[in-house]
């Protein structure tokens, strides 16, 4: 039943997103002067309409199955833990993604090598390693290899920090 | 003939050979590591390939393609975990042989069958590519639209049980392709006044984010202890495969390779289906079908030759029509375009040298696979033991470096994070992500051909039904879609997951 709740949620989110894109985002983000019958907003609008229809069908199918099982009442929806998204389960994912953005911002201030060594060591610990020194050593060697290969072999210029590299 | 010789001579260079060898090694290691798919492997190599000369880059990609197809069998045989979906059928008999202490024999059979399959796939590519490209020369915007529609129809094949979810994923891919300049009027769309988005979303950010990062996020759902756990292969790789044993499989390998190559030609079906079809056919045609599943060579030779032959077959629609048949070929399109090689019928007229380069690279990749596989089986078997807790963070750093290096722009790496999160959300809600990538690749061409056709016909849809090739392509798309949906509905639950 958890899958059906997820489908219902997905379908509703898709329909709402499509409505938002159709009525707000497209007029706000695609501005053109001209009388073209098939303008630059033609294709995005077509996609959004098709997406909205698919989302509505997904939601409808899930709702019908839930109704059949007697789970489509406000009381059942509130009482059933399967109907809710367990955000706690995704705390690690949130931390990982948030730290990744911070890493990229930090890279521009302290440079690629320093930011990457610190971040990779922290990631190794986050993913399951337990020895900080081993993680730091592993991280330093790996980042050095990546940095040297990309800088000297592929001539990539990485962000430099106040340390000068 | 001169062009052929010239193309061949490009491969008599140490850089190109090193490129192929590196591709094969990375492919075998990547394919051998569960969770690292051939597409992810090639996506990670894509940024590196951009800085290499075209023949080296093509060699690297082809090497990786062939290598990863074989690599999947290493973990399938040693730890009962297929490294790639294409090696799933190899697990059935491969692991049983490993339990009997015949892991070395099983790995060698997988290697020889993979090489034979790769060569047969290349021959089929040679035979089919040119005639198809001659027909494709007659294409205008409506025909291109029909072709793109056929590519979209393959979404039905890779959507698994829910066609609707595949469609949503495909539409999302098309929507992502719309970001940036309008191809006809040059109007900016969904750029939020950000100059970094004027060129649209970078292909690398989409590929790496949706595939590699979403996979890292999926693996992150496991506990820290599970991620730190070492995979435990069963036995030392020490036993041999005799020539007589290999020769006894010749008809099985030939038949399975032809099945694999033909399945590869059909867009959207891919290696995982090919290996199961070949396995089933080998069992059906065997004198001792009851022994399948108990650890016999036939059960390894069939799927392994089929999945490597898929590579040659999948290049047929890519080179002749410019349509990617699966995710790996979708990434290959990006790599080829980045090197100024535009796949499609005109390629055979304007740049036949590049076509020969691809053929020869595929051939050399198979040869390299043979030698590297033979030398490296004991070594590669050890890599399978790498802890995910070590591997995944390192892959993430490569993802960041890869997306950043494309334009030396940190914005692309940030977009990759966002797209990775999107891929993860889609996966969690059981939306297939392959349709998103395929649609993203063909999105711009689909929109352009549709709008050009409608402008040409004064908004009349009749243009698609009055031109024979366009009509045939549109009808084929509908028929293909119908059969794919029917196949998915009839398939057992395990096969649906596989899709």
Under an 8 A CB cutoff, do B174 and A57 touch?
A: no
* B340 or B414, higher pLDDT: B414
pLDDT at A95: 96
The residue with tokens 């940036």 is B180
**Residues on chain B touching A158 (C-beta within 8 angstroms):** 404
pLDDT at B242: 85
Under an 8 A CB cutoff, do A51 and B413 touch?
A: no
Write the CA distances from A129 to A142, B316, B391, integer angstroms.
16, 45, 11
Under an 8 A CB cutoff, do B400 and A32 touch?
A: no
pLDDT at B154: 65
Under an 8 A CB cutoff, do A96 and B191 touch?
A: no
The rounded distance, in Å, linking the Cα atoms of A20 and B177 is 19
Under an 8 A CB cutoff, do B405 and A58 touch?
A: no
Task: From B359, B363, B376, select the one nearest B28 (Cα to Cα).
Answer: B376
pLDDT at B291: 83
pLDDT at B494: 47
pLDDT at B458: 86
Residues 77-116 of A with CB under 8 A from B: 89, 92-93, 96-97, 100-101, 103-104, 107-108, 116
Q: Helix (H, G, I), strand (E, B), or coil: what is residue B168?
A: helix
Burial (0-12, 13-18, 19+ Cβ within 10 Å), A63: middle
Q: What pLDDT, in 10s, does the model give residues A9-30?
A: 999 999 999 999 999 999 999 9
Q: Helix (H, G, I), strand (E, B), or coil: what is residue B15?
A: helix
The rounded distance, in Å, linking the Cα atoms of A94 and A89 is 10
Task: Provide the phi-psi class of B36: left if phi over 0, else alpha when psi is between -120 and 50, else beta.
Answer: beta
Which of A32, A116, A154 is nearest residue B397 as measured by Cβ atoms?
A116
**Is the pLDDT at B165 greater than 70, yes or no?**
yes
Q: What is the mean pLDDT of chain B?
A: 81
Which of A101, A127, A142 is nearest residue B389 as measured by Cβ atoms?
A127
Radius of gyration of chain A (CA): 24
Asked whether B17 and B25 are in contact (CB, 8 A), the reply is no
pLDDT band at B376 (very low <50, low <70, confident <90, very high): confident
Distance from CA of B416 to the nearest CA of A (A): 11
**Residues on chain B touching A143 (C-beta within 8 angstroms):** 397
The rounded distance, in Å, linking the Cα atoms of B67 and B265 is 20
Asked whether B81 and B75 are in contact (CB, 8 A), the reply is yes
DSSP class of residue A83 equals G
pLDDT band at B497 (very low <50, low <70, confident <90, very high): very low
Under an 8 A CB cutoff, do B389 and A38 touch?
A: no
Distance from CA of A48 to the nearest CA of B (A): 8
Write the CA distances from A95 to A118, B217, B224, B245, B377, integer angstroms.
16, 11, 14, 53, 38
The rounded distance, in Å, linking the Cα atoms of B434 and B437 is 5
**Residues on chain B touching A47 (C-beta within 8 angstroms):** 171, 174-175, 178
Which of A10, A57, A97 is nearest residue B429 as measured by Cβ atoms?
A10
Distance from CA of B342 to the nearest CA of A (A): 24
Q: Does A7 touch chain B (CB under 8 A)?
A: yes
Exposure letters B320-353 (e unless 16+ CB within 10 A, then b): bbbbbbbbbbbbbbbbbebbebebbbebbeebeb
Distance from CA of A120 to the nearest CA of B (A): 6
Distance from CA of A165 to the nearest CA of B (A): 15
Dihedral angle over CA of B78, B80, B85, B90, nearest 10: 70
A94-98, B157-161, B456-460: lowest mean pLDDT where?
Answer: B157-161
**Residues on chain A touching B191 (C-beta within 8 angstroms):** 29
DSSP class of residue B1 equals -
**Is the pLDDT at B489 greater than 60, yes or no?**
yes
Please tell me which of A94-98, B345-349, B447-451 the model is most confident about, judged by mean pLDDT.
Answer: A94-98
End-to-end CA distance of chain A: 54
**Residues on chain A touching B226 (C-beta within 8 angstroms):** 128
* Vertex B343 angle, CA B442 and B303, to 5°: 85
The rounded distance, in Å, linking the Cα atoms of A113 and A139 is 10
Under an 8 A CB cutoff, do A128 and B227 touch?
A: yes
* Mean pLDDT on B451-468: 88
Comparing alpha-carbon positions, the chain A residue that sits nearest to B417 is: A97
Q: What pLDDT, in 10s, does the model give residues B185-235?
A: 888 999 999 999 998 998 878 878 887 788 889 989 888 888 888 765 555
* Mean pLDDT on B373-395: 77
**Is the pLDDT at B499 greater than 50, yes or no?**
no
Q: What pLDDT, in 10s, does the model give residues A111-121?
A: 999 999 999 99
Calculate what percentage of chain A has a pLDDT beyond 90: 63
Distance from CA of A16 to the nearest CA of B (A): 14
Task: From B499, B372, B496, select the one nearest B86 (Cα to Cα).
Answer: B499
**Is the pLDDT at B496 greater than 60, yes or no?**
no
Under an 8 A CB cutoff, do B387 and A3 touch?
A: no
Q: Does A33 touch chain B (CB under 8 A)?
A: no
pLDDT at B153: 75
Instruction: Give me the domain span that covers residue B209.
Output: 2-498
The rounded distance, in Å, linking the Cα atoms of B157 and B486 is 10
A61-70, B78-87, B394-403: lowest mean pLDDT where?
Answer: B78-87
Under an 8 A CB cutoff, do A54 and B182 touch?
A: no
Tokens of residue B66, six digits: 């062939």
Under an 8 A CB cutoff, do B185 and A32 touch?
A: yes
Strands B180-181 and B188-189, bridge-based pairing:
antiparallel
Could you tell me the sign of the dihedral formed by the alpha carbons of A147, B396, B36, B207, in that order? Answer: negative
Dihedral angle over CA of B280, B284, B286, B291, nearest 10: 60
Number of domains in chain B: 1
**Residues on chain A touching B429 (C-beta within 8 angstroms):** 6-7, 9-10
Which of B182, B220, B397 is nearest residue A146 as measured by Cβ atoms?
B397
């Amino acid at each position: 039943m958890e899958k059906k709740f997820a489908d219902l949620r997905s379908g509703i989110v898709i329909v709402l997103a499509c409505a938002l894109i159709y009525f707000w985002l497209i007029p706000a983000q695609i501005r053109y002067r001209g009388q073209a019958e098939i303008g630059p907003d033609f294709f995005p609008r077509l996609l959004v309409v098709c997406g909205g229809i698919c989302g509505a069908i997904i939601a409808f199918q899930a709702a019908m199955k839930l109704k059949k099982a007697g789970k489509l009442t406000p009381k059942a929806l509130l009482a059933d833990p399967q109907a809710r998204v367990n955000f706690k389960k995704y705390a690690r994912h949130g931390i990982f993604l948030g730290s990744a953005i911070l890493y990229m911002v930090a890279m521009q201030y302290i440079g690629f090598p320093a930011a990457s060594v610190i971040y990779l060591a922290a990631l190794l610990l986050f993913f399951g390693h337990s020895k900080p020194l081993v993680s730091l050593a592993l991280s330093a060697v790996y980042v050095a290899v990546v940095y040297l290969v990309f800088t000297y072999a592929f001539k990539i210029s990485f962000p430099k920090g106040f340390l000068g590299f | 003939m001169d062009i052929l010789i010239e193309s061949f001579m490009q491969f008599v260079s140490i850089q190109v050979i090193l490129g192929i060898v590196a591709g094969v090694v990375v492919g075998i290691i990547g394919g051998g590591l569960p969770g690292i798919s051939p597409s992810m492997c090639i996506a990670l190599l894509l940024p590196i390939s951009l800085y290499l000369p075209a023949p080296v880059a093509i060699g690297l990609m082809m090497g990786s393609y062939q290598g990863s197809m074989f690599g999947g069998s290493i973990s399938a045989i040693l730890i009962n975990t297929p490294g790639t979906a294409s090696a799933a059928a190899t697990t059935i008999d491969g692991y049983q042989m490993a339990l009997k202490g015949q892991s070395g024999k099983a790995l060698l059979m997988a290697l020889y069958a993979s090489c034979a399959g790769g060569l047969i796939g290349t021959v089929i590519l040679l035979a089919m590519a040119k005639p198809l490209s001659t027909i494709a020369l007659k294409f205008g915007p409506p025909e291109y639209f029909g072709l793109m529609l056929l590519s979209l129809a393959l979404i039905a094949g890779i959507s698994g049980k829910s066609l609707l979810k595949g469609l949503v994923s495909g539409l999302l891919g098309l929507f992502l392709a719309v970001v940036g300049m309008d191809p006809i009027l040059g109007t900016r769309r969904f750029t939020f006044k950000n100059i970094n988005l004027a060129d649209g979303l970078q292909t690398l950010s989409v590929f790496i984010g949706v595939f590699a990062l979403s996979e890292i996020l999926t693996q992150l759902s496991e506990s820290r202890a599970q991620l730190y756990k070492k995979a435990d292969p069963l036995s030392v790789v020490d036993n041999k495969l005799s020539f007589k044993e290999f020769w006894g499989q010749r008809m099985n390998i030939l038949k399975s390779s032809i099945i694999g190559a033909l399945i590869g030609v059909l867009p959207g079906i891919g290696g995982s289906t090919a290996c199961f079809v070949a396995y089933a056919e080998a069992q059906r045609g065997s004198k001792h079908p009851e022994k399948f599943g108990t650890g016999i060579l036939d059960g390894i030779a069939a799927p392994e030759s089929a999945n490597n032959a898929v590579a040659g077959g999948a290049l047929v629609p890519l080179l002749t029509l410019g349509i990617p048949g699966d995710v790996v070929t979708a990434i290959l399109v990006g790599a080829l375009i980045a090197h100024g090689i535009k796949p499609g019928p005109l390629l055979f007229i304007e740049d036949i040298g590049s076509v020969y380069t691809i053929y020869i690279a595929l051939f050399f990749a198979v040869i390299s696979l043979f030698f590297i596989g033979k030398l490296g089986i004991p070594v590669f078997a050890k890599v399978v033991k790498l802890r995910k807790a070590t591997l995944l963070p390192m892959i993430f750093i490569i993802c960041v470096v890869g997306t950043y290096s494309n334009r030396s722009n940190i914005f692309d790496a940030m977009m990759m994070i966002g797209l990775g999160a999107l891929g993860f959300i889609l996966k969690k809600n059981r939306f297939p992500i392959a349709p998103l990538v395929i649609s993203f690749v063909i999105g711009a061409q689909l929109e352009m051909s549709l709008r050009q056709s409608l402008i040409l016909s004064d908004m009349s849809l009749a243009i698609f039904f009055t031109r024979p090739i366009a009509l045939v392509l549109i009808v084929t798309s509908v028929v293909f879609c119908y059969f794919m949906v029917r196949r998915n509905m009839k398939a057992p639950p395990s096969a649906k997951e596989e899709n």
